[in-house]
Structure 1
């Protein structure tokens, strides 16, 4: 039954994506700000499919920790799930993503139009400079710039591997950084076709203020995100005062 549900979800997921892309093609001509509600609608439809077909739900904790306006968001990356699910809780999210995604037909057009930040990981320091320049513009416009500090998906429980890019971006933006922990890899494993029923928990932690020295910010982000992620993997509950929302 798990295989059948996972297969059905995959068919519906890609069919749903295709329908949204085709139906929204005319919106490529409108200003990018009008595309954010569309992106949230698509993301919510994916969460609905997961809940209905697979039995995978989501619980959001710490929503009150999200500041208003532009900021940097550093999120744990365990699966493809967070690449769309995080769109539903941020007003104007902009992801830092690999350049190859921008080149995809249709999907890449929308990513480029909405203003996602592509990074050529083979370009070294020049890629970091370009990423920082684009991110500064987005934060000044009130966007939430979302980066995955490890650069790629990590299996639940794998040793952390935080890259210098997040510290470079934090130092360049001079803005608070919001750490996000999650356990999505337990239910949407990387390199696996199966989707597991259960509740993905996302914990949005208090933001780090601007101005922390670059050498310290990676260690602090890793400490906060990994400590909370380990708690989520172990099934720990947050304090009673935390904001929560189930979907």
Structure 2
């Protein structure tokens, strides 16, 4: 049953994505950027609805009251593709740092460029960080947007040792805005590089912001501690729920 529901969900999820790209994203490309943001939010909500109805996986986002007004950084634990689009329903004018290769995809990449997402050439390293910082200052300072960044750089399996990059501390120091940590347990229910979608309650928790002004090292330690402690708690809650159904993926490891 789990395999069948996962198969049906994945089929509908990607069909839904293609449908939105064709009937909503392409027309919205001719309208102001705000119209494209509305389409992105609507697609995200439709995807979460499919996840709940087809796969039996409900996404619960808490701590929205912790989000300050104005430009800010959002540093999220990254375990799954799920948090990437789920957070779009909360941060209404987000700007993502993403692989530049994604902007080369027809229609999808065009939309990313119109939304002024920040592509990064991972091979350029120091120059890439400088370019990202310059673009982020414009988007946060002039446009009051929310910069969404995954401080570990890539998806990590639930329970894997943390691997935070120092780029997030550099951006925190350069941008001078609050940083909102986000903890997740999404990888239990939507695991990376696997097609299974486990039923249950996914939890994404928005934590109190870290005010600007800390030195880079202190910020890095504080950010990692807050995200990891909260994510470990969410991981334990998720495993308990899945364990009651005999679906805990970490039980045999």
The two structures share one fold, judged by TM-score above 0.5: yes
Deviations 1:179-200 (A, max 9, x none): 0001000000011111100101
SS at structure 2 position matched to 1:210: coil
Structure 2 equivalent of residue 243 of structure 1: none
- CA RMSD of the aligned region, Å? 1.0
Within-5 A mapping of 1:28-107: 28-107=29-108
Separation in 2, partners of 1:98, 1:212: 28
SS at structure 1 position matched to 2:97: strand
Question: Is 1:206 equivalent to 2:225 in the alignment?
Answer: no
Return the offset for 1:110: 0.7
Separation in 1, partners of 2:85, 2:174: 26
Structure 2 equivalent of residue 227 of structure 1: 229
TM-score, normalised to structure 1, is 0.93
Structure 1 equivalent of residue 248 of structure 2: none
Return the offset for 1:87: 0.3
Separation in 2, partners of 1:93, 1:65: 16
Name which of structure 1's ranges 202-211 and 99-108 shifts more when overlaid on structure 2: 99-108
Within-5 A mapping of 1:1-247: 1-24=1-24, 25-140=26-141, 141-235=143-237
Separation in 1, partners of 2:104, 2:200: 34
SS at structure 1 position matched to 2:123: coil
Return the offset for 1:38: 1.0
Return the offset for 1:26: 1.9
Separation in 2, partners of 1:233, 1:7: 25
- Bigger relative contact order, structure 1 or 2 (CA pairs below 8 A, ≥6 apart): 1
Separation in 1, partners of 2:129, 2:90: 27
SS at structure 2 position matched to 1:29: coil
Structure 2 equivalent of residue 241 of structure 1: none
Return the offset for 1:47: 0.1
Over 2 Å off, 4+ runs: none
Aligned length: 236
Return the offset for 1:68: 1.3
SS at structure 2 position matched to 1:136: helix
Return the offset for 1:46: 0.4
Deviations 1:60-114 (A, max 9, x none): 2211101112100000000110111100011211111111111111111111111
Q: Which 5+ residue runs of structure 1 have no aligned equivalent?
A: 237-247
Return the offset for 1:11: 0.9
Separation in 2, partners of 1:84, 1:60: 12
Separation in 2, partners of 1:26, 1:52: 28
